[in-house]
């Protein structure tokens, strides 16, 4: 069983590592991960051995808490609960930071200009003690709980450092020696200010998710008999009919049963052009009905809705760890004990070599305070949080951190043709007759056997014939994927498909040069056979998607090669490829062979992305280093893809390019964050060991390091809006 739940009380990324370790110690837990950026834990466990109560106890024993959840789905109560909880945490962080700063300021001033009057030192001592023990109490509480379990985190470093500075100062106070109250007070204030700033920044980082959640309206107007009642959308059931007035949001996914309108779907799909919707069309919950009154039949509950699936997909992506993040977590897990050991060694070493205890303690405190596993552990999850949020806001869903890593190295993109590079709605352009049969009869015979097929070419042929009263339904139909369809229509055996398909059915083929000539024009040609004779051919053409040529050109500018993979005939495929600017074409590929084409490129050392939208694309999407599923495609394709592009309109292929750009930039920010986090510690700790950093300066630098990582990640918010 797998569950995700919020965790409160985390102050830094090393907190997340400790909670994960505590959860893994619970019998029955097979895996656990905690994301500091999102404030959530994800646990896989055997529900016969462990329960939610066991998991909650493990978190509490580690020094943290688990807020109560009203509902695991996307209901308004849980949404508002999460928002209020964040606001509450932020208010507490703000109050602590401001009070600590207000009390630490006079302590710092008196340390610079000297005590004011005879009670000055006592005034300093009292204020510093209040700052450290009252407003910094959370550091010490967490430290004590962790020490009971033999663990340590960032709070341990802060607690040991400030208590050591405070204790030394009180010791010297009674001896009339040098005082260091300002170090203890200012370090605490600096770190609290840093955590307040970090909490505010993390709130901004999750704004995209907040916007998505806020799309769902709270109420709907349900039709009950001859009346209309106002109900919470949680109360809607499948089959309920709701009224949606102009300007209102559509409550849940459904189908229009009355009315015509245009709908703004931009916040869900990223498509900026409003979509025209008529009776029978599907509509998405949370989108805005612009100008027509509608009656909509609900087809999905809240938890099943597209918006809920988007939110879940993005939250899963933010929870799953990228390979590079697992390395950072391992380092964060051993970082604090190493820093404590270094601090103790420096303290003992300086005393042994004759340095005063005061100087040795201050040096040790500087080492404790300058060390910052927070920046290291926060570098990756905060970038993933902002990057996936920015993508979701524009209709690009990144399903896991691994996708970010692979996307940064993609060298070649394979595109499925039909429905991906093209509109996916072919139309009949030519009908050829071989022999005395009329073109109308060729088309009619093909339409009869294709009438029960859901293939796009079949739909186009049936549409070309139009309504007929004398249509005969086929029997004994047999579909050969990528080849054709055959069946019995009355007393005749009819086959429609490739020339090789007809030949395999034992049919005689006449001179097909006139049909092959149509292929050179970019048209797909299928042949129609009745009994043992090929009686004609039908040519169809699927137009390239709007923006396809521009998207391919942009990929080339990024240094990424493009290849078309299709089951269509080579001539037709090359004609489409030429129109969109693709030079490399792999045609006449059976559905099961697309995966082999991807594998071949990988064996040649390419890092491959595959873009597709059909059931037959699922194996290739899964095999590719980066599978990009078009959201207008099938559920199976979307499930198989690592990235999902929700837009199905003219900007869909542009969104594919945007997805690659955004994932590349997100991964670049991850690398930047990790570089600076490592560099900060590699440079800062030795400087503190050598005595070049005072405790106060170390505290300020440590606080700034985490904030800088978050601010660097926040740049992705603007980038996400720009690329879309």
**Catalytic sites, residue numbers:** 416
Distance CA 447, CA 10 (A): 65
Distance CA 539, CA 512 (A): 13
Contacts of 521 (CB under 8 A, 6+ apart): 541, 575
Distance CA 662, CA 544 (A): 25
Q: What is the DSSP letter of 563?
A: E
Pairing of strands 227-232, 288-289: unpaired
Distance CA 242, CA 92 (A): 43
Concatenate the DSSP letters of all residues of 104-130 into one string: HHHHHHHHHH--SSTTHHHHHHHHHHH
Contacts of 271 (CB under 8 A, 6+ apart): 265, 395, 647, 648, 649, 650, 651
Nearest CA to 285 out of 238, 230, 223 is that of: 238
Both tokens of residue 372?
């910052």
Distance CA 633, CA 645 (A): 10
Dihedral sign computed on CA atoms, order 444, 445, 451, 454: negative
Backbone angles phi, psi at 151, to 5 degrees: -125, 165
Paired with 485 in beta bridges are 479, 496
Backbone angles phi, psi at 511, to 5 degrees: -65, 120
Q: What is the DSSP letter of 531?
A: T
Contact criterion met (CB below 8 Å) for 637 and 613 = yes
Please return the burial class of 440, using the count of CB atoms within 10 Å of its CB with bins 0-12, 13-18 and 19+.
exposed
Q: Rounded to the nearest 5 degrees, what angle is found at the Cα of 277, between the Cα atoms of 272 and 281?
A: 120
Please give the C-alpha separations between residue 497 and each of 138, 449, 506, 527, 594, in angstroms, as whole numbers: 73, 11, 13, 5, 20
Nearest CA to 374 out of 199, 147, 203 is that of: 199
Distance CA 356, CA 363 (A): 11
Distance CA 362, CA 517 (A): 87
Residue 463, number of CB atoms within 10 A of its CB: 13
Distance CA 188, CA 192 (A): 6
Contact criterion met (CB below 8 Å) for 460 and 419 = no
How many residues are recorded in the chain? 724
């Amino acid at each position: 069983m797998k569950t995700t739940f919020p965790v409160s009380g985390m102050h830094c990324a090393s907190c997340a590592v400790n909670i994960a370790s505590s959860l893994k110690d619970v019998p029955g837990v097979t895996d656990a991960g905690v994301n500091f950026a999102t404030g959530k834990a994800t646990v896989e466990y055997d529900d016969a051995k462990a329960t939610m109560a066991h998991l909650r106890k493990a978190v509490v024993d580690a020094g943290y808490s688990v807020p109560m959840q009203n509902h695991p789905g996307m209901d308004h109560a849980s949404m508002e609960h999460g928002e209020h909880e964040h606001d509450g945490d932020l208010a507490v962080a703000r109050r602590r930071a401001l009070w600590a700063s207000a009390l630490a300021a006079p302590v710092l001033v008196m340390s610079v200009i000297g005590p004011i009057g005879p009670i000055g030192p006592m005034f300093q001592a009292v204020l510093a003690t209040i700052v450290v023990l009252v407003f910094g109490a959370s550091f010490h509480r967490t430290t004590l709980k962790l020490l009971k379990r033999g663990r340590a985190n960032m709070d341990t470093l802060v607690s040991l450092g400030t208590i050591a500075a405070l204790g030394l100062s009180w010791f010297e106070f009674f001896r009339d020696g040098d005082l260091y109250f300002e170090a203890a007070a200012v370090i605490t204030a600096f770190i609290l200010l840093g955590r307040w700033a970090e909490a505010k920044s993390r709130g901004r980082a999750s704004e995209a998710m907040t916007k998505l959640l806020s799309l769902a309206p709270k109420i709907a107007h349900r039709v009950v008999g001859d009346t209309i009642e106002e109900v919470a959308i949680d109360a809607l059931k499948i089959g309920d009919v709701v009224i949606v007035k102009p300007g209102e949001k559509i409550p849940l996914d459904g189908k229009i049963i009355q009315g015509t309108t245009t709908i703004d779907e931009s916040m869900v799909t990223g498509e900026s052009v409003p979509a025209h919707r008529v009776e029978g069309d599907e509509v998405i919950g949370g989108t805005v009905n612009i100008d027509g009154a509608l009656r909509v039949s609900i087809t999905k509950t809240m938890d099943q809705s597209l918006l809920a699936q988007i939110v879940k997909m993005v939250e899963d992506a933010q929870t799953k760890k990228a390979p590079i993040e697992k390395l950072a977590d391992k380092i964060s897990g051993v970082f604090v004990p190493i820093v404590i050991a270094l601090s103790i060694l420096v303290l003992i070493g300086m005393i042994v070599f004759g340095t005063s205890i005061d100087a040795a303690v201050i040096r040790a405190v500087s080492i404790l305070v300058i060390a910052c596993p927070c920046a290291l552990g926060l570098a990756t999850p905060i970038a993933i949080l902002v990057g996936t949020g920015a993508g979701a806001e524009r209709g690009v869903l990144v399903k896991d951190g691994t996708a970010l890593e692979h996307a940064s190295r993609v060298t070649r993109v394979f595109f499925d043709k039909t429905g991906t590079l093209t509109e996916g709605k072919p139309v009949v352009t030519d009908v050829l007759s071989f022999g005395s049969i009329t073109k109308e009869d060729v088309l009619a015979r093909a339409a009869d056997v294709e009438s029960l097929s859901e293939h796009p070419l079949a739909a186009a042929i049936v549409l070309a014939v139009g309504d007929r009263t004398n249509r005969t339904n086929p029997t004994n139909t047999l579909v050969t994927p990528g080849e054709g369809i055959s069946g019995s229509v009355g007393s005749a055996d009819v086959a429609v498909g490739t020339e090789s398909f007809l030949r395999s059915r034992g049919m005689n083929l006449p001179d097909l040069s006139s049909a092959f000539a149509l292929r050179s024009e970019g048209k797909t040609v299928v042949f129609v056979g009745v009994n043992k004779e090929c009686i004609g051919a039908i040519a169809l053409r699927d137009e390239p998607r709007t923006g396809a040529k521009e998207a391919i050109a942009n990929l080339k500018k990024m240094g990424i090669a493009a290849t078309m993979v299709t089951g269509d005939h080579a001539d037709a495929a090359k004609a489409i490829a030429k129109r969109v600017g693709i030079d490399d074409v792999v045609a006449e590929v059976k559905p099961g062979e697309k995966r082999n084409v991807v594998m071949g490129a990988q064996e040649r050392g390419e890092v491959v992305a595959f873009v597709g939208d059909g059931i037959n694309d699922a194996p290739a999407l899964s095999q590719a280093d980066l599978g990009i599923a078009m959201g207008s495609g099938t559920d199976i394709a979307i499930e198989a893809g690592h990235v999902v592009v929700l837009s199905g309109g003219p900007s869909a292929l542009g969104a594919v390019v945007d997805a690659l750009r955004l994932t590349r930039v997100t991964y670049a920010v991850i690398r930047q964050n990790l570089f600076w986090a490592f560099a900060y510690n590699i440079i800062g700790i030795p400087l503190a060991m050598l005595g070049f950093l005072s405790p106060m300066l170390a505290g300020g630098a440590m606080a700034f390091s985490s904030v800088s990582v978050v601010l660097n990640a926040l740049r992705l918010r603007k980038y996400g809006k720009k690329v879309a």
